[in-house]
Amino acid sequence: MEINLAGIRQEYTKSGLKESELPDNPLLLFNRWLQEAIDAKVNEPTAVVVGTVSPEGQPSTRTVLLKDLHNGKFIFYTNYESRKGRHLANNPHVSLSFIWHQLERQVHIEGIAAKVPAHESDEYFKNRPYKSRIGARISPQSQPIKSRMQLIRNFVKEAAQWIGKEVERPQQWGGYAVTPTRIEFWQGRPNRLHDRFLYTLQKDGTWKVTRLAP
C-alpha cells in the first residue's frame, strides 16, 4: 500500500516572531515559549530530542524530558551507561530539539553536556515516583534483555529489597546539564516563509542574533 506523503501539507498561520521583540538573552524567549506550550496543554511540552555522536561519527537521537533550566543550562536525567551516556563520555557535544506542533514552533539547541553534581542527582532522584526509582535501578538501559517478563521479575525483586527504606540512586544514573552555544527559534508562517532567528554565544558572553532564511 502506497501512502501519498507528498500530498500532506499544512499552512502555518498561528503566530509570527518579530526581530524587534527578541530579548538579548535567548533563554528569556525559551522560557516564554515553554510556558506558553504548557499553558496551551501541548502534549509532552518538556519532551526534547537529544542528539549525540558515537565514537565512529554516527549520529543518534532519542527523546527525553527536560527536568530543569538552571543557571542557563538545560538539564535532563538518564542512565550514564546508556548509549547516549557512552556517546557523551566520548564527545560532550550535544543537540536538543523541542517541537511544539500545536503552536507551530521549534527550538533547536547545540551545546556542551556535563554531568551535574552528585548531590543534585540525589535530590532529584529522591523526588521521583517510587516505581520510577526502582525502574532506574534495574534497567540496563540500551542493553539487550531476554524478555519483558525478565524485566518485570527484576523489578519485583528489587522493589522487595527497599520496602520501608529510602530507595538509593544508582551510581550509573544521574543528570546532564547542557550549556548552550547556539539556539535557533523557528516559528511557522504562511507560504513557508517561516521566521527563523539564530542566537550564537560570543566570547564575551553576549548573544548575537541573526535572521535565517526559511
Encode pLDDT of 4-52 as tens digits. 888 888 888 889 999 999 999 999 999 999 999 999 999 999 999 999 9
Cα 115 from Cα 130, distance rounded (Å): 23
Q: Is 192 an active-site residue?
A: yes
Residue 200, pLDDT above cutoff 90: yes
Provide the residue count of the chain: 214
pLDDT of 1: 76
Encode pLDDT of 141-163 as tens digits. 888 889 999 999 999 999 999 99
| 74-to-7, 11, 30, 104 alpha-carbon distances in Å | 37, 31, 11, 22
Catalytic residue among 32, 153, 192, 211: 192
Global pTM value: 0.92
CB atoms within 10 A of CB 134: 21
